[in-house]
Amino acid sequence: MLSYRHSFHAGNHADVLKHATQVLILEKLKTKAKPFVYVDSHSGAGLYRLDSKEARKTAEYETGIGRLWSQQTDFPEIEVYLTLIKQLNPDGDLRYYASSPLIARELLREQDRIILMELHNQEVEVLRQNMAGDSRVSLHHRDGFEGLTAILPQPLRRGLVLIDPSYEIKSDYQQVMNSVMLSWRKWHVGIFAIWYPILSQQRDQSGWLLEQLAKIPCKNLLVAELAVSDQAKNYGMHGSGMAIINAPWQLDQQLASLLPHLHSSLAQAGQGQVRVEWLIEGL
Ligand SMILES: C[S@@+](CC[C@H](N)C(=O)[O-])C[C@H]1O[C@@H](n2cnc3c(N)ncnc32)[C@H](O)[C@@H]1O
């Protein structure tokens, strides 16, 4: 049974890193007129209310998108992302937050395609309502790890796969690895963006995941991490990262410029750090 609900976490610092990176990649794909496909293996509900009981209980968004919103943050690498969140909240009060499928729906063009997977019975129904009436979207109520390998390769040669599990089950790390390996073999030219948490010393598995990903004989592998506090010994998530296979040209420079800004807006004073690094470069 799936217990994780993203509504408790929507708009936190990890979402900011993930969605800002997603937007940069989608905008890069849009620089060519040729159509592309966006695939989301763990989609979530599409849209989250930040004034919901769940979001208010943890108030995680307050130290994520809430900070950028109240500081009226403005730098070029997150302009498109922030504009999108502003469009969802036209009266100036931050009440709605977009998840990855909605971001894709807003940014993709008529010729592009969107494939979404979500396993949770209730989340998938909300997602269905949020995506209703858009003929570019195919929605699958299924396991995203298995679904990803089943639907690839796609007729469109270019595109982005976002893999964003909750990692609430320990085996998610191994499942991510298996799924990325199998789907990359089927689609060498696709961009794969994998989100992962950075946890306390005793629980953190990000190092293992990156080691495994770096064994894939892909063209390149870029890592971008944002930690907003120091690593605790035994509990908590103090940061997160994005591992990007086949990272588009100049994404490293954009993230290297963006992350210090995000860190100074979102981190606890004097804590945390950022990292932008090629684990595999330019093969
Ligand atoms: C971190 S949330 C996704 C958030 C969303 N991608 C975003 O950017 O806001 C992870 C989602 O994966 C769903 N999920 C969990 N296990 C899954 C599986 N094996 N296949 C597909 N979806 C799954 C959960 O119900 C949850 O909605």
Task: Supply the DSSP symbol for 79.
Answer: H
Query: pLDDT (tens digit, 9 = 90+) per residue, 116-154?
Result: 999 999 999 999 999 999 999 999 999 999 999 999 999
User: With respect to CATH, is domain 6-280 assigned 3.20.20.100?
Assistant: no
pLDDT at 52: 87
pLDDT at 4: 81
172 lines ligand 1 (CB under 6 A): no
Please tell me the distance from the alpha carbon of residue 98 to that of residue 165, in angstroms, as a whole number.
17
Please tell me the distance from the alpha carbon of residue 283 to that of residue 281, in angstroms, as a whole number.
6
44 lines ligand 1 (CB under 6 A): yes
User: Strand 96-98 to strand 37-40: parallel, antiparallel, or no bridges (unpaired)?
Assistant: unpaired
Provide φ and ψ at 183, rounded to 5°. -75, -35
143 lines ligand 1 (CB under 6 A): yes
Q: How far is the CA of 11 from the centre of ligand 1 (A)?
A: 15
Provide φ and ψ at 128, rounded to 5°. -60, -45
Pick the closest to residue 6 from 158, 152, 119 (CA basis). Answer: 119
In order of 23, 71, 237, the CA distances from 62 in angstroms are 21, 12, 16
Residue boundaries of the structural domains of the chain:
6-280
Catalytic annotation, residues:
164
User: For residues 219, 189, 227 and 279, what is the CA-based torsion angle, rounded to 10 degrees?
Assistant: -10
pLDDT at 205: 96
Q: How far is the CA of 128 from the centre of ligand 1 (A)?
A: 14
Ramachandran category for residue 147: left, alpha or beta (phi over 0 → left; psi -120 to 50 → alpha)? alpha
Position in ligand 1 atom list of the atom nearest CA 10: 9
Q: What is the mean pLDDT of each successive set of 10 residues along the chain, which is 283 residues long?
A: 84 98 98 98 95 87 94 89 96 96 98 97 96 97 97 96 94 97 96 97 95 96 96 86 97 97 94 97 75
In this structure, which residue's CA is closest to atom 1 in ligand 1?
Answer: 166
pLDDT at 283: 54
Instruction: Count other C-beta atoms under 10 Å from residue 89's C-beta.
Output: 14
Whether the predicted model's global pTM rises above the 0.95 cut: yes
Position in ligand 1 atom list of the atom nearest CA 162: 6
141 lines ligand 1 (CB under 6 A): no
225 lines ligand 1 (CB under 6 A): no
Q: How far is the CA of 123 from the centre of ligand 1 (A)?
A: 9
Q: How far is the CA of 283 from the centre of ligand 1 (A)?
A: 32
